[in-house]
């Protein structure tokens, strides 16, 4: 056991999956689940996600040695303020937010020095949401980012690395700024692109079904994700995301001008380069098979 | 048996799957497979896709009562000229091209009046290619467009509708122009968007793997499709595709301005509308479960 008592604040798909995985892998002895609605809390108890539940975050962290914040990014900022006075000495606090700079900054503002905060981001999940979608194996084989800074207690980092490995995930240590730049391109841009694609198709109405194949379904699936969660992610990383959008427009222009010119050779080249880049995206199965990462520092920018 | 002898020109994933399905469902007695390379031809024989093979399209159609053209869109245009003088009286000719106007026009220019051409497009397939990817059940539950025109022999259309239903697909009769407008939005635009997204990510190089989750993999999967096939599709429907790209840019602008303004409410609304539109895309399983379409005429534009 790494922790005796974990407060999981936000028992949705990610928080619920963390609780199930942490208990199954004997990383955490007991879980206190925190959610806004009684319905979610009773479902969390029924599914074995939480041993106890409460809607009071401060109460939940009072006797915890681990706090796992799995709420929408902007709710995490206010939750940090809510729990600040109640966090016990030596408690380790982490989160699962998909954009890290704002959260890391808010944590260092809000939290007392007698506890340790390290930002986290498991590259896991799907378009599903809610505790019913929680799975004990959700993190297996996925990249799991940790974003310590100069002030981070090395011992707390070692403990969290052990926790992440215990979940079956691949820990990657990176600074929050670099994380947000990479994720703007590999996650937040694709989400906006998929959503804009769906908006473009909206006028087709009910004809959409008969005119859609697997390609369209795959390309737009992430647009089924929960609005509140993605609104917060996109806003929290808006500067990097807008920069990525500019890059994307340039690539789109290349295709459009080749199409307007009827330049077959150019289009072949653009399609080939895109296909080769797609080949460098991790396999369509989990990346668990890959040589486990040696916890290197921030990857260089490409 | 609807046909005694089908010439399948282009024994790749689509042509090969048609041959397997047509024989398994006793729609076609014998298949002559046509491909450019001996390697493909011997593989087609080995996989039971073709009973006989040749690289000479004209020779293959000489005694056929059905010709199934499953080559890249622009190759189909030249193949129509290659087979024109050899097509027997009463032969029915169809194709599987994903853009229809050019092919329908080329067919009426090239083919003699003693045979019947009807354009076709099965909404089936994947990013895979080649005869090794052929599956007898590829068309089951998919939309299968047929694009007759005013000159089309009604009896030939009835026979092809029977053939399509026999494959387990859902026949939809639509004119070539309307087909190309719809597919520009639901298939050709998503392909360009996925490819442009991959091109945007290319500079990340080998870092791409560790920073990509299931969302990115799904959103970009179609960019793995064969260059030559997609080059021809995009070029053959460039006018409608460029119009769809304009619509897409407008939607992208809406997201970008809301992000730059930090307008949370607006972003929530845009994400919700996109999610609702995605909900009208046919289910992530096949659409076989849906009430079979009553072979209505062209769907209205949304």
Tens-binned pLDDT, residue by residue, of chain A (302 aa): 999 999 999 999 999 999 999 999 999 999 999 999 999 999 999 999 999 999 999 999 999 999 999 999 999 999 999 999 999 999 999 999 999 999 999 999 999 999 999 999 999 988 888 999 999 999 999 999 999 999 999 999 999 999 999 999 999 999 999 999 999 999 999 999 999 999 999 999 888 988 999 999 999 999 999 999 999 999 999 999 999 999 999 999 999 999 999 999 999 999 999 999 999 986 654 333 333 333 333 333 32
* Cβ partners under 8 Å of residue B242, min gap 6: A256, A259, A260
Residues of chain B contacting residue A294, judged by C-beta atoms under 8 Å apart: none
Residues of chain B contacting residue A169, judged by C-beta atoms under 8 Å apart: none
Domain A3-174 has CATH 3.40.50.720: yes
Contact across the interface for A222 and B223, Cβ inside 8 Å: no
Q: Which residue of B has its CA nearest to A269?
A: B227
Contact across the interface for A219 and B190, Cβ inside 8 Å: yes
Q: Give the best residue of B142, B252, B260, B287 to mutate against chain A (max A CB count within 10 A).
A: B252
Strand order in the sheet with B3-9: B52-54, B28-34, B3-9, B66-69, B92-95, B116-122, B143-147, B170-173
Read off the pLDDT of residues A37-47 as tens digits, 9 standing for 90 and up: 999 999 999 99
Tell me the C-alpha distance between B223 and B217, whole Å: 10
Q: Are A126 and A6 in contact (CB under 8 A)?
A: no
Question: What Å distances lie between residue B122 and A130, B16, B125, B139, B182, CA to CA?
Answer: 37, 13, 8, 7, 14
Residue numbers in chain B where pLDDT is lower than 50? 285-302
ipTM: 0.90
Question: Whole-number mean pLDDT of chain A?
Answer: 92
Tell me the C-alpha distance between B64 and B89, whole Å: 10
Contact across the interface for B212 and A123, Cβ inside 8 Å: yes
For residue B294, the model assigns a pLDDT of 31
In 3D space, the residue among A279, A30, A2 whose CA is nearest the CA of residue A159 turns out to be A2
For residue A299, the model assigns a pLDDT of 32
Tell me the C-alpha distance between A287 and B139, whole Å: 31
Contact across the interface for B275 and A224, Cβ inside 8 Å: yes
Q: Are B17 and B139 in contact (CB under 8 A)?
A: yes
Nearest by CB: A203 against B170, B276, B302: B302
Q: For B246-264, b where at least 16 C-beta lie within 10 A, e where not — what string?
A: ebbbebbebbbebbeeeee
Tell me the C-alpha distance between A144 and A18, whole Å: 12
Report CA Rg, chain B.
Answer: 21
Q: Which residue of A has its CA nearest to B213?
A: A123
What are the residue ranges spanned by the domains of chain B?
3-174, 178-288
Q: Are A185 and A237 in contact (CB under 8 A)?
A: no
Contact across the interface for A201 and B212, Cβ inside 8 Å: no
User: Residue B120 pairs with which residues in a beta bridge?
Assistant: B146
For residue A284, the model assigns a pLDDT of 54
**CA dihedral (A273, A275, A281, A282) positive or negative:** negative
For residue A98, the model assigns a pLDDT of 97
CATH tag, B178-288: 1.10.3660.10
Contact across the interface for B277 and A170, Cβ inside 8 Å: no
Tell me the C-alpha distance between B48 and B6, whole Å: 14
Q: Give the best residue of A13, A123, A190 to mutate against chain B (max B CB count within 10 A).
A: A190
Extract the tokens encoding B103.
């092919």
* Cβ partners under 8 Å of residue B298, min gap 6: B173, B174, B175, B178
Contact across the interface for B170 and A210, Cβ inside 8 Å: yes
Instruction: Count Cα atoms within 13 angstroms, Cβ side, for B161.
Output: 17
For residue A128, the model assigns a pLDDT of 87
Size of interface A-B (CB pairs under 8 A): 339
Instruction: Output phi, psi for A66, to 5 deg.
Output: -140, 135
Nearest by CB: B277 against A123, A202, A247: A202
Extract the tokens encoding A74.
């902007």
Instruction: Output phi, psi for B119, to 5 deg.
Output: -65, 150
Tell me the C-alpha distance between A14 and B26, whole Å: 50
Q: Give the closest-approach CA distance of A256 to chain B in angstroms.
A: 7
Extract the tokens encoding A93.
């606090």
Burial status of residue B155 (CB atoms within 10 A of its CB: 0-12, 13-18, 19 or more): exposed
Tell me the C-alpha distance between B55 and B197, whole Å: 38
Nearest by CB: A222 against B127, B185, B218: B218
Between helix A227-236 and helix B264-279 the angle, nearest 10°, is 130
Q: Which residue of B has its CA nearest to A248?
A: B200
For residue A33, the model assigns a pLDDT of 98
Tell me the C-alpha distance between B208 and A301, whole Å: 10
Q: Are B13 and B130 in contact (CB under 8 A)?
A: yes
Extract the tokens encoding A195.
């959503």
Residues of chain B contacting residue A287, judged by C-beta atoms under 8 Å apart: 209-210
């Amino acid at each position: 056991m790494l922790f005796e008592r974990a407060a999981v604040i936000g028992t949705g798909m990610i928080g619920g999956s963390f609780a199930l995985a942490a208990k199954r892998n004997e990383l955490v002895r007991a879980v206190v689940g925190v959610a806004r609605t009684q319905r979610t809390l009773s479902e969390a108890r029924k599914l074995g996600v939480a041993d106890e539940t409460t809607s009071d975050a401060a109460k939940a962290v009072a006797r915890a040695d681990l706090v796992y914040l799995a709420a929408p990014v902007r709710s995490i900022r206010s939750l940090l303020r809510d729990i600040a006075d109640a966090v016990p000495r030596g408690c380790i606090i982490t989160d699962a937010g998909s954009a890290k700079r704002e959260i890391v900054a808010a944590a260092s503002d809000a939290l007392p020095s007698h506890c340790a905060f390290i930002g986290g981001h498991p590259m896991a999940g799907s378009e599903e949401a809610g505790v019913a979608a929680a799975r004990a194996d959700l993190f297996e084989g996925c990249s799991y980012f940790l974003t310590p800074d100069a002030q981070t207690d090395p011992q707390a980092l070692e403990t969290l690395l052990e926790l992440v490995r215990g979940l079956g995930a691949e820990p990657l240590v990176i600074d929050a700024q670099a994380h947000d730049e990479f994720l703007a391109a590999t996650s937040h841009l694709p989400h906006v692109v998929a959503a804009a694609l769906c908006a473009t198709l909206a006028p087709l109405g009910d004809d959409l079904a008969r005119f859609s194949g697997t390609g369209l379904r795959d390309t737009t699936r992430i647009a089924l994700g929960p609005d509140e969660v993605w609104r917060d992610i996109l806003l929290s990383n808006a500067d990097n995301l807008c920069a990525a959008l500019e890059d994307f427009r340039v690539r789109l222009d290349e295709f459009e001008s080749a199409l307007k010119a009827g330049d077959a050779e150019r289009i072949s080249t653009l399609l080939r380069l895109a296909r080769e880049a797609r080949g460098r995206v991790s396999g369509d199965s989990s990346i668990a098979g890959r040589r486990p990462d040696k916890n290197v520092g921030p990857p260089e920018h490409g």
